[in-house]
Chains A and B, each alone.
Chain A
Amino acid sequence: MSITTNHVKEKSVLELTVNNHPGVMSHVCGLFSRRAFNVEGILCMPIGDGQRSRIWLLVNEDERLENMVKQLDKLEDVLEICRHGADHQIFSQLEEYFRV
């Protein structure tokens, strides 16, 4: 998570509620990877009774992000999307686990 370059890009945090099965991560990550769109951070845990999971993504603000969110919304296994600003604390709380 540490930013070493001087060029600091604006970041966005996406919160997805998804069905919990082995292929969902591939579906979500595949959308980004095949557009050469780097996902900076990923967190995923089951929620409730485990039928569903929540995926948190930390991504760069890019002109393509708007379309990425629409593409995510089209995935059968993505049930809900919430877009947060970079100030969301989910990833910053984890920074101590990512010190080099």
Chain B
Amino acid sequence: MQFSGAEIIVKLLERQGITQISGIPGGANLPLYDALKLSSIKHILARHEQGAGFIAQGMARASGRTSVCFATSGPGATNLLTAIADARLDSVPMVAITGQVPLPMIGTDAFQEIDTYGLTLPITKHNYLTRSVEELLRVIPAAFRVAASGRPGPVVVDVPKDVQLRKMEVTKWPEPGGTDESPEPDPDAIDQMIQIINEAKRPMFYIGGGIINAGAAQTIRRIAEKASIPTTSTLMGLGAVPSNHPLFLGMLGMHAARYTNMALDECDLLIAAGVRFDDRATGKVAQFCSHARIIHIDIDPSELGKIKMPFVGVEGDVAKALAAAESRIEKVDRSAWLNRICELKAAYPLVMPGLDDPLSPYGLVLEAAAAAEQDAIITTDVGQHQMWVAQSFPFAYPRQLLTSGGLGTMGFGMPAAIGAALAYPNRQIICFSGDGSLLMNIQELATAAEERTNIKVIVMNNNHLGLVRQQQELFYGSRFSASRFHAEPDFPAIARGFGIEAVDLGQADDPKKALKHAIEQRGPCLINVPIPAEDKVFPMVPPGAANRDMIGGENHVDND
């Protein structure tokens, strides 16, 4: 039977198990949309390609499965770039299929022509410019294999319009792209790792997104419990170990609790698992865990020694490496170390002011957590609200938190929440955002309304770029340059304009009750919460400083 390139792509996506695609049509991908019309795949029409990219990311991050988005050539592709780069830095499996001008017009500065291949080269795991209809049969499954294998990441397939239109005879469809088996970790490295862990007096786990991607959360927890190993997590790893676990010390780094960074400073062994020693986690690298030997386990060999040379580097799937080691990691009495951690925790806890006030950041986060269903998925935007959530929300399982960690993209949270809601229509999705972040993709409220997604957008509204303001106050002599918004948009009115329910906690007689009601009712809802512009995220490690040099967040109870 004869199929066009567009029909082949859609057929291969169906065979790949794709059921939903976000995107926006345009001149150069019209054939693709024509083929999609006859498909069982549901299309989610975003209002901006960046929104489409983050909706796809939301689906992928929530489910762990590769997701797909579509964009046309030129501005469609350039608008998608931020979402692709974001997926790259946080290792999210995504396949972006872009339309391109017809092959004979490439290089002529044709209408809506842009070098999508060149632009996406440094921000993808791999990218393709398909030059014949025949190669689609190879490239589409390969794109899925690359996106999901090893360390996941985004793949771009750029398809010229004439390739989408050209027909060919297809008698046999290729197998869907699978996942390459990850290589077995080196047994000698595993042996060495076990020996060093068993010898350590003050070991600590430093875990990240790799633990979640590998499905190693349970294993980490069992090993930590068996061998009494306190565990800290990056932003990307939150949820892998439940926040209330006695061995869990919360997030490390720039906005860690004081005791967490201090404990890291005292450990004699750092077991870095599925992490990449990001600067927000390590602070000044030379002084990060300077008394510790380091074991680094990662599936991406180029991460081993990239920032810090490990004493033992284990290249491979972190789940496999830990499983291979688990039975030989001994139960060791580390009560002295655990007691020391308890001392530090008691003397230097995370100080969270305003816990009983739903109109203050920590109080709001915990009140929302109390009102949320057990299996609610949390997304955030980027800024102060993101760190307050990371510090205080009681995360309980992997993939509960979807946040832009590496790229730190404002505008991520709400479209990612839409994606999560599409992947899990029966779950509640709570997006914590700020007034600055939300405005960066506010147009997707239209998509949220259209799809009747069960998302709750909580806007911590201080009418500022709060984290910028905070840095200007702390490090730039309170010279507040361009961090204040002088216009004050009425967010509830905007939401209602999009056809979305809204509530303003600042005007509510009983803010707690109003918040609970807004979260519990089904369907999209925006919750505006005025917060003081002076509120800061503490503690804070100044950029470039060592993690032990924290500002703020002192435990005032102990002073005087």
Chain A interface (Cβ < 8 Å from any Cβ of B): 22-23, 26-27, 30, 34, 66-67, 70-71, 73-76
Contacts and interface: CB of A to CB of B under 8 A. Distances in A.
A27 B127 CA distance: 10
* Nearest 10 Cβ contacts at the A-B interface: A70-B302, A76-B126, A71-B302, A70-B301, A30-B121, A34-B122, A67-B306, A30-B122, A26-B121, A67-B302
Interface in B102-158: 117-118, 121-122, 126-127, 129, 146
Contacts of A22: 129
Best-surrounded residue of B127, B301, B302 (most CB of chain A within 10 A): B302
A70 B302 CA distance: 5
B301 A23 contact: no
B118 A26 contact: yes
Contacts of A75: 126
Contacts of A26: 117-118, 121
B305 interface: yes
B121 A27 contact: yes
A67 B300 CA distance: 11
A78 to B, nearest CB: 11
Contact of A76 (B118, B129, B146): B146
Best-surrounded residue of A26, A34, A66, A75 (most CB of chain B within 10 A): A26
A70 B300 CA distance: 9
A23 B117 contact: yes
Nearest to A31: B122
Nearest to A72: B302
A34 B121 CA distance: 11
Interface of B: 117-118, 121-122, 126-127, 129, 146, 300-302, 305-306
Contacts of A71: 302
Contacts of A70: 301-302
A23 B126 CA distance: 11
B302 to A, nearest CB: 4
Contacts of B121: 23, 26-27, 30
A41 to B, nearest CB: 22
Nearest to B135: A21
A22 B300 CA distance: 26
Contact of A66 (B118, B126, B129, B305): B305
A74 B300 contact: yes
Nearest to B301: A70
A62 B117 CA distance: 29
B427 to A, nearest CB: 35
Nearest to B129: A23
A66 B301 CA distance: 11
Given A23-B117, A23-B129, A74-B300, A67 B305 contact: yes
Nearest to B128: A23
22 contacts: A22-B129, A23-B117, A23-B121, A23-B127, A23-B129, A26-B118, A27-B121, A30-B121, A30-B122, A66-B305, A67-B305, A67-B306, A70-B301, A71-B302, A73-B301, A73-B302, A74-B300, A74-B301, A74-B302, A75-B126, A76-B126, A76-B146
A27 B156 CA distance: 14
B248 to A, nearest CB: 32
Nearest to A69: B302
A71 B129 CA distance: 22
Nearest to A71: B302
A76 B177 CA distance: 15
A66 B306 CA distance: 9
Contacts of B306: 67
A7 B129 CA distance: 42
A75 B146 CA distance: 10
Contacts of A76: 126, 146
A66 B313 CA distance: 14
Contacts of A23: 117, 121, 127, 129
B530 to A, nearest CB: 42
Given A23-B121, A23-B129, 15 more contacts: A22-B129, A23-B127, A26-B118, A30-B122, A34-B122, A67-B306, A70-B302, A71-B302, A73-B301, A73-B302, A74-B300, A74-B301, A74-B302, A75-B126, A76-B126
Contacts of A34: 122
A74 to B, nearest CB: 6
A32 to B, nearest CB: 11
B278 to A, nearest CB: 16
B28 to A, nearest CB: 19
A71 B301 CA distance: 8
Contacts of A74: 300-302
A24 to B, nearest CB: 11
Nearest to A74: B302
B91 to A, nearest CB: 13
A66 B117 CA distance: 27
B130 to A, nearest CB: 11
A5 B333 CA distance: 60
Best-surrounded residue of A67, A71, A75 (most CB of chain B within 10 A): A67
A13 B103 CA distance: 36
A71 B127 CA distance: 16
Contacts of B146: 76
A26 B129 CA distance: 13
Contacts of B122: 30, 34
B326 to A, nearest CB: 28
A66 B122 CA distance: 19
